[in-house]
């Protein structure tokens, strides 16, 4: 008999989270404290559970049945993706994620130093890379990837102050990737100075004055001011001028390959990534900032933010599948109603989350009958469950391995 596994999923209470959005999704009372993320997966730092057992343990108990031979041969006895719901009321840290070889090297280095896995002094919590994709559920704001030196110099035009001056000098001297890197270094290393708060404050005030006078770069200036209000004295607020500013409407998506500098600013979204918790922070955070590791892992090539390939299916075009050039994950969002059943990915491990409404999930190999999912409920579907169909009325997200 093949089972479907109802999930009990952990939440993360980071200080940038919304006090209400994830509790509303889960149908639980808000307690006034921020709830930043809902994790659905098997990462050992915060695994989902089913029937009291950690999802990772269930996967390891029968890798081939849970994952399928294709997935277990490629990734071993582990779920290769992590699905999240992210609710940002304030900006997340300015960050990058490592590429595979750098993740392994950093993890092994910190192990050799004897740094505990749960230590706040640790940057690498596992040995995996962390590409990720975010799909907006509400209007979603962020920063992603470096602007061209020419664009940044235009945004700096008319701004005074020694820190802005050093950034400008770096870009005027070298308009290649090396110049972008040096400009970013000027901002990151400013925090080591005893006068950092004053120097950053003077530059932010110049941006604030320009914004008040009717700035032609109003959006970029408003972002600096907002970030400076959330993180006074942090040069990460000024670093936002170097990055592309992004707004996603519901259903829009963004792909962040390893090494891409980014920061999410506000909104509700689903996020899927390789199953990793490796975050290298540059600023806008009270957590560990590891400048050396970040500079080793970051890509400074100016480019527009990457978007996934989106395909549409279903008789009403109600199923949207998001694919990116990584092996660990893909995402399907479905708008289910009574007019037509919806087919979900048919093989490999899958996690299905009901975002609103109520749906029935049917597996053609389960002896238990349909699984009914209400808003905020989720289920792990093993490979052996076979074909999946959805009926009812609601919005559903399914993470799977392509």
Within-domain flag for 288: yes
Whether residue 106 is found in the same domain as residue 11 = yes
How far is residue 361 CA from its own chain's centroid?
27
Mean pLDDT, the chain, rounded, equals 95
121 within a domain of the structure (yes/no): yes
Domain CATH for 393: 2.60.120.10
Domain end, chosen from 223, 241, 259, is at 241
Residue 367 has a pLDDT of 67
Q: Are residues 160 and 232 in the same domain?
A: yes
In a domain, 304, yes or no: no
Report pLDDT for 37.
98
pTM value? 0.94
Pairing outcome for strands 5-6 and 81-88: unpaired
15 with 119, same domain? yes
Q: Which of 241, 264, 279 is the endpoint of a domain? A: 241
Eight-class DSSP state of 369: -
Instruction: Choose the final residue of a domain: 222, 241, 260.
Output: 241
17, 118: one domain: yes
Q: Does 22 reside within a domain? A: yes
Does residue 217 share a domain with residue 108?
A: no
Alpha-carbon distance of 86 to 268, in angstroms, equals 6
Instruction: Provide the domain limits for residue 325.
Output: 309-400
Number of domains in the chain: 3
Copy the structure tokens of residue 17: 């989270």
Domain shared by 26 and 122, yes or no: yes
Quote the distance between the C-alpha of residue 93 and its chain's center. 11
The per-residue pLDDT for range 302-347, each reduced to its tens digit, is: 999 999 999 999 888 799 999 999 999 999 999 999 888 899 988 9
**Whether 162 and 128 share a structural domain:** no
On whether residue 262 sits in a domain, the answer given is yes
Same domain, 316 and 341: yes
Instruction: Given the residues 99, 181, 245, 281, select the one marked as catalytic.
Output: 281
Residue 202 and residue 344 in one domain: no
Residue 281 appears among annotated catalytic residues: yes
Q: Cβ neighbours of residue 235 under 8 Å, at least 6 residues apart? A: 163, 187, 188, 190, 191, 196, 200, 283
Q: Per-block average pLDDT, block size 10, for the chain (402 residues)? A: 88 96 96 97 96 96 96 97 98 95 95 93 93 98 98 94 94 96 95 90 94 91 97 95 98 97 98 96 91 93 96 89 98 93 92 97 80 96 94 96 97
Task: Decide if 302 is inside a domain.
Answer: no
């Amino acid at each position: 008999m093949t089972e479907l596994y109802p999930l009990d999923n952990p939440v993360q209470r980071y200080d940038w989270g919304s006090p209400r959005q994830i509790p509303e999704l889960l149908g639980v009372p808000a307690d006034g404290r921020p709830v930043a993320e809902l994790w659905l997966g098997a990462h050992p730092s915060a695994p989902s559970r089913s029937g009291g057992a950690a999802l990772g343990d269930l996967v390891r108990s029968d890798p081939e049945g849970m994952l399928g031979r294709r997935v277990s041969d490629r990734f071993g006895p582990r779920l290769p993706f992590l699905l999240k719901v992210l609710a940002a009321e304030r900006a997340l840290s300015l960050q990058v994620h490592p590429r595979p070889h750098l993740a392994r090297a950093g993890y092994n280095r910190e192990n050799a130093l004897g740094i505990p896995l749960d230590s706040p002094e640790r940057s690498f919590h596992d040995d995996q890379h962390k590409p990720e994709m975010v799909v907006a559920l509400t209007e979603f704001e962020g920063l992603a990837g470096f602007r061209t030196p020419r664009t940044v110099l235009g945004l700096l035009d008319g701004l005074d102050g020694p820190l802005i001056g050093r950034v400008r000098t770096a870009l005027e001297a070298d308009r290649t990737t090396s110049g972008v890197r040096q400009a970013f270094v000027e901002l990151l290393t400013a925090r080591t100075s005893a006068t950092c708060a004053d120097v950053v404050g003077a530059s932010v005030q110049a941006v604030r004055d320009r914004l008040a006078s009717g700035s032609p770069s109003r959006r970029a200036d408003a972002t600096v001011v907002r970030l400076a209000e959330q993180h006074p004295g942090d040069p990460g607020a000024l670093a936002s001028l170097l990055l592309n500013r992004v707004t996603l409407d519901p259903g829009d998506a963004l792909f962040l390959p390893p090494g891409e500098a980014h920061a999410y600013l506000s909104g509700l979204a689903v996020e899927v990534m390789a199953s990793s918790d490796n975050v290298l922070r540059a600023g806008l955070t009270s957590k560990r900032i590891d400048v050396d590791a970040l500079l080793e892992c970051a890509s400074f090539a100016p480019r527009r933010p990457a978007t996934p390939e989106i395909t549409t299916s279903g008789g009403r075009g109600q199923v949207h599948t998001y694919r990116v050039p990584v092996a660990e994950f893909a995402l399907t969002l479905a708008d289910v109603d009574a007019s037509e059943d919806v087919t979900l990915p048919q093989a490999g491990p899958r996690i299905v989350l009901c975002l609103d409404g109520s749906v029935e999930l049917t597996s053609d190999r389960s002896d238990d009958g349909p699984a009914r999912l209400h808003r905020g409920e989720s289920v792990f579907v093993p490979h052996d469950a076979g074909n999946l169909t959805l009926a009812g009325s609601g919005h559903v997200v399914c993470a799977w391995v392509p």
